[in-house]
Amino acid sequence: MSKRGDDAVVDISDVEVIAPNFKRRLSGVTSTIIQLVPVQRALGYKVAALGPGLPSSTPHIRFRDLLHGWKAPRGKRVRVWHARRNIEMLPAIFLRDVLRMKLKIAFTSASQRKHTGWTKWLISKMDAVIATSSRTSGYLTVPNTVILHGIDTERFVPSANKAEAKRVCALPANKKIVGCFGRVRHQKGTDLFVDAMIDVLPARPDWIAIVAGRATGPHVDYEKGLIDRIAKAGLADRILFVGEHTNINDWYRALDLFIAPQRWEGFGLTPLEAMATAVPVIATDVGAFPELIVTGNEETGAIVPRDDMKAMATTAAQFMDDGIRRDAASARALQHARASFSITNEVEALGQVYDALLNSR
């Protein structure tokens, strides 16, 4: 991330919704804010980010601008603070309840586990609560609105020429490719993907597998262990770790099948990004994956049990061996992602929550 200058500073008097990001390290929350704020503003919502770890182009306010928080934005009684973490709820409560600033607080939860007493208390102080999936909603003990994430369906689009898409990524144009994208770590199930590929690839010489993502800190040794495991299986030239890429949309276009092998996930955007690129998806039953992928007669992919490598390998083999099934799922995946998971759908649903808070007394 580049350090932000003043090129994208927004006048606080014209900001109706603040989207705080109080974590420097890139995370799913940070990525959500980066993607949402420009689209929200393009669609007429007066939203600005606050905090470190964001690109210079992200419309934002400065911390010192909060001194103007006692005055509501033009034409409104209050301003909305949209928190996505505990560390963003707490200061908002202080600003609203102690300093008496004109704030309403919304909170988005992606958690799929029982909340601690501290988190429950924070959530109980919110003016509106949003859940990113029905499963997440089930862990909340307060009224909430389910709003699924969306993606940029203008950025994630299929290639008209699959062979050329593979060449763009320096991948063999004459091979079919199955991919797993995301951070390389145990939680993300990278080892399950690798073991499934070690199981199925030897009998399928026309396929290769790629892992796109980065291992950080304590996960570097985990990645090295996987690479060693691949080498011992004699598949070093067929299961490739290609690193992290900013043009990840190009890498999706090169794929014929995508696997999301996570052991745990808050939401998980990668299946949506793959489907929007007309790639069928096999995913574990975690996060929002079961709500994103259509199975059965109108399948866009398949759901397998978490932590079940054999089920993953078997399902992958079935898709690899059936081109007609892959093509049908590919077409349906593209239509499904565009119809149901455009980021504009998410923005408009959030806008309804914002409007209700901005117009409340």
Cβ–Cβ under 8 Å, residues 281 and 252: no
* pLDDT band (50, 70, 90) for residue 6: low
**Is the model more confident about 24 or about 281?**
281
| CATH architecture label of 162-340 | 3-Layer(aba) Sandwich (3.40)
* pLDDT higher than threshold 80 for residue 169: yes
Distance CA 120, CA 241 (A): 40
Indicate the SS3 state at residue 96.
Answer: helix
Residue reference for tokens 């593209």: 334
**Entry pTM:** 0.87
- pLDDT for 112 equals 86
Of 67, 68, 50, residue with least CA distance to 59: 50
β-strands 176-181, 207-212: how paired?
Answer: parallel
3-state secondary structure of 93: helix
Q: How confident is the model at residue 1 (pLDDT cuts 50, 70, 90)?
A: very low
pLDDT of amino acid 301: 98
- Phi, psi of 92, rounded to the nearest 5 degrees: -65, -40
pLDDT band at 2 (very low <50, low <70, confident <90, very high): very low
Per-residue pLDDT, 270? 94
Provide the residue ranges of all domains of the chain, joining segments of one domain with +.
12-150+343-358, 162-340
* pLDDT more than 90, % of the chain: 88
Lowest mean pLDDT among 24-33, 141-150, 246-255: 24-33
User: Is residue 360 pLDDT above 90, yes or no?
Assistant: no
Contact 252, 178 (CB under 8 A): no
Q: Is the pLDDT of residue 239 over 50?
A: yes
Are both 12-150+343-358 and 162-340 of the same fold? yes
Q: Is the distance from CB of 55 to CB of 34 less than 8 angstroms? A: yes
The string of pLDDT tens digits covering residues 97-138 is 999 999 999 999 998 889 999 999 999 999 999 999 999 999
pLDDT at 3: 44
Q: What is the Cα–Cα distance from 200 to 319, expressed in whole angstroms?
A: 11
Helix (H) or strand (E) holding 47: strand 47-50
Contacts of 244 (CB under 8 A, 6+ apart): 212, 213, 214
Residue 299 has a pLDDT of: 97
Reported as a single tens digit per residue, the pLDDT across 262-294 is: 999 988 899 999 999 999 999 999 989 999 999
Segment 54-97, tens digit of pLDDT: 888 899 999 999 999 999 998 899 999 999 999 999 999 999 99
- Asked if residue 5 has pLDDT above 60, the reply is no
- pLDDT above 90 (res 43): yes
Helix, strand or coil, per DSSP, at residue 133: coil
3-state class (DSSP) for residue 200? helix
pLDDT of 195-210, one tens digit each?
999 999 999 999 999 9
**Which pLDDT score is estimated for 54?**
87
Closest CA to 266 of 21, 100, 31: 31
Pairwise CA distance, residues 104 & 80, whole Å: 5
CA geometry: angle 34, 358, 57, nearest 5 deg:
20
What is the average per-residue pLDDT within 213-238?
Answer: 96
Computed over every residue of the chain, the mean pLDDT equals: 94
CATH class of 12-150+343-358: alpha beta
